[in-house]
């Protein structure tokens, strides 16, 4: 029997291979689309970091440019303080924002941004500032 004949034993194998390749390509495309959102890749202070001195600024580094839409500092008592964002809303991969003086204790940074694909992304970073020891007596 000729290999191109519909009843040839190799025909179902070719269809199965084509189907597997198509499904594999579809799964890859879905996985790539799911991972396309912007991600925070580094921050200063870093998650869980214990500082001996309060930071003068917060630095957020993303895997691609984002438009930062909100940055809030939350203290251990739950008091919230919004950090002023720059007037220039150009998307950036690195944001460095000055913050007011922070007291010793536990802090959380909450951020929101619009990713390059237009989807909102958000996250939080916990850090602490150690109390300074008083002068020796």
Rg (CA), the chain: 26
How far apart are alpha carbons 68 and 120 in whole angstroms?
Answer: 10
CA–CA separation, 73 vs 100, rounded Å?
10
The yes-or-no verdict on residue 45 having pLDDT over 70 is yes
Range of the domain at 12: 1-35
Helix or strand (DSSP H, E) at 121: strand 120-129
Q: Specify whether 86 is located in the same domain as 120.
A: yes
Are residue 49 and residue 97 in the same domain, yes or no? yes
- For residues 44 and 75, membership in a common domain is answered with yes
Q: State the CATH number of the domain containing residue 82.
A: 2.60.40.1220
Domain presence at residue 17: yes
Q: Which residues contact 52 (CB under 8 A, 6 or more apart)?
A: 129, 130, 132
- Judge if 80 and 31 occupy the same domain: no
Do residues 117 and 54 both lie within one domain? yes
- What pLDDT score does 132 carry? 78
Predicted local confidence at residue 47, as pLDDT:
98
Domain identity same for 57 and 123? yes
pLDDT at 37: 81
pTM score over 0.85 = no
What is the distance between the alpha carbons of residues 90 and 96, in angstroms, rounded to a whole number?
13
Residue 7 in any domain: the answer is: yes
What pLDDT, in 10s, does the model give residues 55-107? Answer: 999 999 999 999 999 999 999 999 999 999 999 999 999 999 999 999 999 99
Query: 135 in a domain, yes or no?
Result: no
The answer to whether residue 31 scores a pLDDT higher than 50 is no
């Amino acid at each position: 029997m000729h290999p191109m004949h519909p009843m040839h034993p190799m025909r179902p194998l070719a269809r199965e291979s084509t189907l597997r390749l198509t499904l594999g390509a579809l799964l890859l495309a879905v996985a790539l689309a799911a991972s396309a959102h912007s991600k925070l890749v580094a921050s200063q202070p870093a998650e869980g970091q214990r500082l001996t001195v309060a930071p003068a600024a917060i630095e957020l580094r993303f895997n691609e440019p984002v438009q930062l839409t909100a940055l809030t500092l939350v203290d251990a008592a739950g008091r919230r303080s919004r950090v002023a964002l720059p007037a220039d809303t150009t998307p950036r991969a690195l944001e460095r924002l000055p913050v007011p003086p922070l007291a010793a204790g536990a802090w959380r940074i909450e951020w929101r941004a619009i990713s390059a694909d237009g989807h909102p992304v958000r996250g939080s970073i916990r850090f602490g500032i150690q109390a300074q020891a008083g002068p020796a007596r």
